[in-house]
Structure 1
Amino acid sequence: MVGTSTSFTKEKAPCGRQVKGSRHHDEDSSGMVFDDVNFACGCRTIQHQFHDGSCRTRVIRHDGRMLLNQLSAEHAE
């Protein structure tokens, strides 16, 4: 997997605040993609796409409340 980490200075977090943070992106040549964003306020967004085409998305607010926890079960044939 080839990963990159980048910082940002102002982006809207799941709680609605405009804060700084960092994004980590990994992917491989077989279709696996990870995109994780950590905000300075403590909020997080996590998107993982797997080799079979399914995708897990999580959005977590800084107080620990899960705003979204979704798994798509789309399988590539």
Structure 2
Amino acid sequence: MVGTSTSFTKERAPCGRRVVGSRYHEADGSGMVCDDVHYACGCRELVHQFHDGNCRTRIIRHDGKVLLNELSAEHAE
């Protein structure tokens, strides 16, 4: 997998502050996708989609408080 990292300015972090940061995106073309956002204040948003369709989402505030930690299952019918 080849990933790309980009910087951004003045985006709203999970804590509500508008700060700079970086976004890392990686995909293998077969369903595995990683999107990780790191804000200058220390907040983080992590979204990892797996080959089976499951998606893990974590949002962590700069003080370490977990705002969201969710695993959603994708069911094909």
TM range (shorter): over 0.9
Look up the equivalent residue of 2:67 and give its one-letter code.
L
Partner of 2:48: 48
Partner of 2:3: 3
**Coordinate RMSD, CA, aligned:** 1.1
Look up the equivalent residue of 2:58 and give its one-letter code.
R
Identity of aligned residues (%): 77
Distance 1:73 1:39 in 2: 27
TM-score by length of 2: 0.95
Distance 1:50 1:76 in 2: 14
1:1-77 equivalences under 5 Å are 1-76=1-76
Structure 1 stretches (4+) deviating beyond 2 angstroms? none
1:8-52 deviations in Å (ceiling 9; x for gaps): 011000000000000000001111000000000000000000000
Deviation at 1:62, TM superposition (A): 0.2
Gaps of 5+ in 1: none
The total of aligned residue pairs comes to 77
Distance 1:2 1:76 in 2: 28
Gaps of 5+ in 2: none
Distance 1:43 1:75 in 2: 31
**Contact 1:52–1:76 (Cα < 8 Å) also in 2:** no
